[in-house]
Chain A
């Protein structure tokens, strides 16, 4: 499985994280300083590309699994195809929401707390960093590293949920942006709600692999459950990479 040693792989994950952090800061400043929608979309695409390639390892779909359909490797390859097909399908839901957002609001956006938006985005980004560490650790048979990183990811996921549902929602409602106030409010709650629902399922998935990992059910060779949870978690992050600018950065607040 592992072609590189654990340290190199972890370092690569860290470098990607730094790139993502810098790009996130960059897009925040772009949004503050100028009115450049295309640039924001470009930055989001670059960020998503980095995550999809380096964290989600999309290229693994191309792995040669041999001719024997009964091996673990071949079955994992089939599972991988299934999971990516699912993500493709799910992406259409979020795509549809994005279309609805631009159709209804155009280049305006709901009035929201910028600090909180940046904060939850950062939390989710850091969680992806730890998720990557967890997977790399398991690939190299480092169970302790896997458990620690997964636990941190899980906590960050819960923190994200608390930030969005527990702080951001009541805050928005307090400011007069409610589900029934206007199309902007409706879109805001629908997009964050749909995303939060996915984060919640991801958290449950992480709980499952944390428990099963602690019981020693995964090994460096056989850990499809970990890979699936990882790819799913990063996917949810990719969705936020697009939703964050769509809700907080693009256009002018109304």
Chain B
């Protein structure tokens, strides 16, 4: 084992840990229930946590993330047994089909999360401060790749940690999607049948769990991905050494890891059948998994809130000299607009989920009509975040598009101020549109028309962005390396998403479209166009900055040309069957509807997208070590980060810079954006 490469050692321990955890869980479950259940929820849960811990143990040894995970497991069990003990004393039920009872799992999950943070070391400095000790302003990271698995305060390291975690979560979400997409390839149930049994779920229940988790995992992945890109780029683009609060920054990242573990554990602990929206009363009657899901989202929400707080403070306080509001990189505007939403609105999804958790745990009747509660209230609280959240997802992506277009068109961004303001405009109008998800919900009827007006207003600033992009392209000198291809792909796909929006906004047509595959197609278009494509563009574009090497152009282009057409076919087919009567969130559809061929096409397209992402992953990891050297200003950009060597020095700029011109004055002879101050 000693001589193996760390990755292989990790994978071996992943397998061993999986088996060990499985038998451990099986044994404990058998001890309590008296019979061996080979797909016992507890066996799945332990298999997950022990294998992940084993993987990191093999990779980096017992420190950083490994220590955190070990602490999380111990903390979860400690919290669980504590509550179980209390219940035993009070004469309540102690163990159930999921080993612990529901309150024990919830408390265990919370204690586990805090234990993770303590174990990984994200709280150490704060504890020292509370005890009156002082800590160094910066901690020096060890050289080499191991630093990425420990707590680091460097925003670039944290940015990479976020991005890698995001891709890992994206992988889980994607594989879940492939599993249920395969089931949907033909009508009737093929393998997720009613006789299928796993983790206390039959095939239909398992389908619902996968579908619900796909939604939330993708959302978490996107939140981590934008946090990664913003963390990595913002201090660099505005000339700061680091984020305003580096410890909070590390905390925001690390709290997302136990959240992801909790979310995944929902799959094993009975699953849940509510979709990512978790509407009560259904979610108050779902199995235990829904609690782990709520808890995971609640904790991931804190990652998002605190990350946004940090980002706003950074842009407000840490800019280079001369960087006035309208000389900020356009991406910074997008990041601010996004952060305003995640800072505030995220609390409401946290609250709405908390209320359901309490309703389940203590019988509190917030959403129970029998007790005077109101199920529609949940939808208001939930959508107050969850609609603006889509702008959280897409605004940074649209910012990346606006940031990269001028570089590859060699022309200024057309109407910089309008583009900057359109981001804020979308964010602010975004706060006023939530109830358009509830046109059929039975809420007060008179609310429908005002919410239709506000929703349609979103089209105006979005239109400004599209027209400005096209005007930027007009009469440029356009080159199309891989990042630019993804930028263009993003524009086209987001256009499809944008244009399919208004039929959902006008109430009467939405009464037909609501909860159909049309909506599924519409938002996959907006998510891919607004996030996935720009995210890939950003990775291809800034990868050389982070590693000093560039990714293969050939594989990059293959990735693009495989993914884009497949994706357009996929979502177009989704919208078409949706219009014709295909409901969302169903494991099976009526063969009489004649959708079999469409679904087969969608499944094939999904597999092609998956293949293209595998190509990307190979390109990504292979190029880290073997990519072509790229040290200088590879894309001939005016932005400050490209004026210094790659990879970026630890504290970013050895010499501070001041802003002396407009950011995107390509084509203007002798103009400069930044000037480095030679003496410090």
Contacts and interface: CB of A to CB of B under 8 A. Distances in A.
A104 B318 contact: no
B366 A179 contact: no
Given A103-B377, A179-B363, A189-B364, A85 B312 contact: yes
Interface string B353-371: 0010011001111101001
B125 to A, nearest CB: 14
Contacts of A78: 244-245, 313, 317-318
A179 B371 CA distance: 11
B116 to A, nearest CB: 20
B348 interface: yes
A96 B347 contact: yes
B371 A182 contact: yes
A74 B313 CA distance: 12
Contacts of A77: 317
Interface string B375-392: 001001100100000000
Interface in B307-323: 309-310, 312-313, 316-318, 321
Interface in B510-563: none
By secondary structure, the B interface counts as: helix
A104 B359 CA distance: 14
A67 B245 contact: no
Contacts of A69: 317-318
Contact of A208 (B130, B359, B372, B374): B130
Given A103-B380, A180-B363, A183-B371, A215 B309 contact: no
Interface string A199-232: 0000000001001100101000000010000000
Nearest to A189: B364
A186 B373 contact: yes
A212 B365 contact: no
Contacts of B59: none
B366 A89 contact: no
Contacts of A190: 355, 358, 364, 366
Given A82-B313, A183-B366, A186-B364, A88 B373 contact: no
Contacts of A100: 351, 355, 366, 377, 381
Contacts of A89: 305, 309, 343-344, 346-347
A86 B244 CA distance: 14
A85 B343 contact: yes
Contacts of A208: 130
Interface residues of B, number: 41
B313 A180 contact: no
Contacts of B359: 186
A212 B132 CA distance: 6
B372 A90 contact: no
Contacts of B355: 100, 190
B345 interface: yes
Contact of B350 (A74, A86, A93, A181): A93
B347 A104 contact: no
Contacts of B312: 81, 85
A179 to B, nearest CB: 5
A125 interface: no
Interface of A: 67, 69, 74, 77-78, 81-82, 85-86, 88-90, 92-93, 96-97, 99-100, 103-104, 179-187, 189-190, 208, 211-212, 215, 217, 225
Q: Which 7 A-B residue pairings sit nearest by Cβ, starting from the closest?
A: A180-B363, A186-B364, A183-B372, A92-B347, A96-B351, A78-B317, A212-B132
Given A81-B317, A82-B313, A92-B344, 6 more contacts: A82-B248, A88-B343, A89-B309, A104-B373, A182-B372, A187-B366
30 contacts: A69-B317, A74-B317, A77-B317, A81-B317, A82-B309, A85-B343, A89-B344, A89-B346, A90-B347, A92-B344, A92-B345, A93-B347, A93-B348, A96-B347, A96-B351, A97-B351, A104-B374, A104-B377, A180-B362, A181-B365, A181-B371, A183-B366, A183-B368, A183-B372, A183-B373, A183-B374, A186-B359, A186-B364, A190-B366, A212-B130
